[in-house]
Each structure stands twice: as C-alpha cells, then as structure tokens.
Amino acid sequence: MLVHGAKNSALPILAASILCTSECVLHNCPALTDVGTSVEILETLGCRIKRTGTDLWVDPTGVSNGDVPDGLMRKMRSSIVLLGAIVSKLGQARLTFPGGCELGPRPIDLHLEALRKMGLHIEEDGGSLVCAVRGRLHGEVLRLKFPSVGATENLMIAASCAQGTTVICNAAREPEICDLADFLNRCGAKVAGAGGRTVTVEGVERLHGCEHRIIPDRIVAATYLAAAAATGSALEVRGVEPEHLSAVLSTLEETGCTVRTEPGRVALAAPSRLRPVRLLSTRPYPGFPTDAQAPLMAAAATAEGESVFVENIFESRYKHAPELCRMGAEICIRGRVASVRGVPALHGAQVAAPDLRGGAALVIAGLAADGETRVSGLEHIDRGYERLEQALAAAGANIRRMEREGKHG
C-alpha cells in the first residue's frame, strides 16, 4: 500500500507558506478534509491556492487579512499553529480560542507564553485572541515545559522572520518538525537543530517561495500495518520512512509480527494470532506515538493474553475503547491505563468513530471481526486518511463506504 503525505507536516507547512513573498509548490500534499480546512483559512487570509493531483500551489502575495473566522478555528483545533505566521506577516491577528476537543482539553498556554516573550501583545477577549506586535517579533530564549509539537512549530515559524535569534529549548523532535525546518530553510530561513532538543532560529528579513515534498504520513503507515497485524495478513507499505516508525515496528515485532524494512518500504507478516504487548506507553518522539495508540489497541483486542496501554500525551484518548467493547473486546480503563484482555475473536457491530485515530481503530477491528461492522462518523476519519476504505479494499479488505453515512457521518 502506498502511503500519502503527512497531514501533520502539511498543516504547519501551509501555515508557514504565508510568510513567503512568492509562490510555494508543495508536492505529496494529501487530499484530506483537514488540509481542505487549512486551504480555506489561507484563502480567507488572502492566499490563492490551486491543487493539481497531489501538488498544491500556494500564492501568498495577497495575504492582508489577519482574522480567522470562528467557524474555521472550530473545524480544526490545530489552526492555532497559524498564529505565529499571521502576526509575523501582518503584525496583528484575531483568532478564536480553540478550546477543548475530542481528545480532552487542548490548552495553548505554551504557544501564548512564548509568543508574548517574543513581544506579541495578546488580549483574551470573550473567547477571542486579539494579537498585535509593534514592529517585528524579537528573538528570545524559550523553554517549553513540555515538548509540544504545535508550540514548537508555531515558534519556529514566528522566529523565522523575527529580529535576532530564537532558541527553543525542550523542543518537540517529531519528524514533522524536521520537515517544517527543511521547508523553512528552503524558503531562506535559518533554522538549525530540528530533530534535537534545542532548535535555534536566526531571524531573516523575509522568506521566498520554494518547492517542497511533504514527508510520508507515519501514522497512516502505522494504521495500515496495524490492520495487517489484526487480520493475520502480510502487507507491504511503500513510500514510507522506516526510521520514523521505529517504536511502532518494535511493538509490532513484540506481538509476533515479522517486520522487514528497506529504504522507502516496510513489509510485515503477521501470525494467525498476535501475542500481547507487555506495555505500550505513549511518549513524545522517538517514543511510541499517541496517534498510533488506538490502531494498536484494535490489534491487541484479539491477542493471546493481556496488553497494557498507558496514554501519557492526551487526557481523553480512550474513547474508542467502549466502541471496541461493543464488538466483544475486553478493555478496562483506569485513568491513563488501559488493560486489554485479548479475546479469541471480535464480532461485528454498529459503532461510532469518536475521533480521527479512534475511527481508524474501529475500521481495523471491523476487518478483524466476524460478521459485518458499520462504522459511522466517517467525517472524523476523512480528516486524516485519504479514502481509507479504498486503500484497504485494494489490499484485499472487504470494506465499502455507504454514501449516506459518508454524507451525514
């Protein structure tokens, strides 16, 4: 199966593109609803955007509006990553507070505290953030309490055209951070250290456009591999960076899968029944990604023994568990810990995708289950997977989209 470009790279790179003084061409840009929302926001700001296949052409020369409408902010909580770019470009921005989301509270204190240190004046006014800076933002030493992916990205973007040098300590180290740094540097920025704990950004006057290829989506790859593991199948995923998947691949090996990697490819062969995972603990990269927790839980649901999951990144990230239980899974949640007692088989049921990755987990469980499973809430899944059902059907799965549910979720 061919893996499409990474949603979590495309979103910050699109945000950063508004800083450029000429057109950017993004290759391998996935056609996801979250990317569509980003495009809509950028168009509201004044960008002109055109898509040809997987290429996105972004002309940011008309950017003049710094207000992001509330409806669009609510559609995609991660749109806070635009703040650094907008204020850096226009000197002001007005956004609504992203608030909570299906994964629990989604605070943005780290973003705001650091941007304030860089000289941004932020007023919180009845759910809105009214932001302005006199002149340019200025470089600072910024220490994050937690290596937040979004905050690291926001600050890297804001610092690119700030006056002086910014040092981001305890930065997130995800591959998407490196992809954003590569994009920014191609546009003329001076970002060093991405992928390590300290990222240093020397501010430049302006960025120019560039051509950039978005990295493969490691979470989509992990989802396909989890589907193969759950169904006792052999599968090859192509167009991936195996080193981005190390934690996921070693967990799959622990369950008894045979994994072979070569540049751009991962081949997996699953046993007829998986072994349990002793302890799957989600951590910032290079630890096990929280986004792959739900798909792996679907696979562990039919393992021969008990698996223990610990979710350390988000508070409410087990909403798929009660849905899996409707299919016969035995999962007990206590705070951050989920014990998954493997059952010999799941059975089909009617279930609802609670969020993006939880939805993918239910699809995986449905493929492994006896009988038919109906998953509703496809709008969650479409945020991060390009036609998931087509990709799985092409690999031999018996799955189809029922249009009525596609339209109404």
Residues 6+ apart with CB under 8 A from 249: 225, 242, 259, 261, 266
Mark 250-289 with x for binding to ligand UD1 (rule: CB under 6 A) and - for no binding: ----------------------------------------
Residue closer to ligand UD1 (CB basis): 150 or 328 = 150
* Choice from 1, 151, 158, 299 touching ligand UD1 (CB under 6 A): 151
Q: How far is the CB of 107 from ligand UD1 (least distance, A)?
A: 4
Q: How far is the CB of 38 from ligand UD1 (least distance, A)?
A: 10
Please tell me whether residue 129 binds ligand UD1 under the rule CB under 6 A.
no
The interface region with ligand UD1, picked from 47-55, 105-113, 207-215, 392-400 by CB under 6 A, is 105-113
* Choice from 314, 355, 375, 385 touching ligand UD1 (CB under 6 A): 314
* Choice from 51, 106, 136, 283 touching ligand UD1 (CB under 6 A): 106
Q: Closest Cα partner for 151 from 166, 178, 171, 173?
A: 171
Please tell me whether residue 290 binds ligand UD1 under the rule CB under 6 A.
yes
Residue closer to ligand UD1 (CB basis): 71 or 100 = 100
Catalytic residue, from 20, 24, 101, 169: name it.
101
Residue closer to ligand UD1 (CB basis): 26 or 327 = 26
Of residues 349 through 368, those in contact with ligand UD1 by CB under 6 A are none
The interface region with ligand UD1, picked from 86-94, 103-111, 115-123, 230-238 by CB under 6 A, is 103-111
Please tell me whether residue 107 binds ligand UD1 under the rule CB under 6 A.
yes
* Choice from 1, 149, 191, 235 touching ligand UD1 (CB under 6 A): 149
Q: How far is the CB of 253 from ligand UD1 (least distance, A)?
A: 22
Residue closer to ligand UD1 (CB basis): 363 or 397 = 363
In degrees, rounded to 5, the angle at the alpha carbon of residue 109 between the alpha carbons of residues 107 and 115 is 135
Please tell me whether residue 82 binds ligand UD1 under the rule CB under 6 A.
no
Q: Burial of 41 by CB count in 10 Å (0-12 exposed, 13-18 middle, 19+ buried)?
A: buried
List beta partners, residue 121.
132
Distance separating alpha carbons of residues 301 and 319, to the nearest angstrom = 15
Please tell me whether residue 168 binds ligand UD1 under the rule CB under 6 A.
no
The encoded tokens of residue 204 equal: 């430049």
Please tell me whether residue 8 binds ligand UD1 under the rule CB under 6 A.
yes
Please tell me whether residue 385 binds ligand UD1 under the rule CB under 6 A.
no
Residue closer to ligand UD1 (CB basis): 70 or 146 = 146
Q: Closest Cα partner for 137 from 113, 106, 158, 153?
A: 158
Please tell me whether residue 109 binds ligand UD1 under the rule CB under 6 A.
yes
Residue closer to ligand UD1 (CB basis): 122 or 257 = 122
**Residue 7, phi then psi, degrees to nearest 5:** -55, -45
In degrees, rounded to 5, the angle at the alpha carbon of residue 405 between the alpha carbons of residues 352 and 400 is 90
Please tell me whether residue 89 binds ligand UD1 under the rule CB under 6 A.
no
The interface region with ligand UD1, picked from 104-112, 160-168, 263-271, 389-397 by CB under 6 A, is 104-112
Residue closer to ligand UD1 (CB basis): 191 or 220 = 220
Distance separating alpha carbons of residues 1 and 4, to the nearest angstrom = 10
Q: Closest Cα partner for 219 from 79, 388, 40?
A: 388
Q: Which residue is nearest to ligand UD1 (CB)?
A: 150
Distances (CA, A) of 254 to 36, 159, 300, 303: 37, 42, 11, 11
Active site residue 101: yes
Which residue numbers are catalytic?
101
Q: Which residues bind ligand UD1 (CB under 6 A)?
A: 8, 11, 78, 106-111, 146, 148-151, 172, 290-291, 313-314
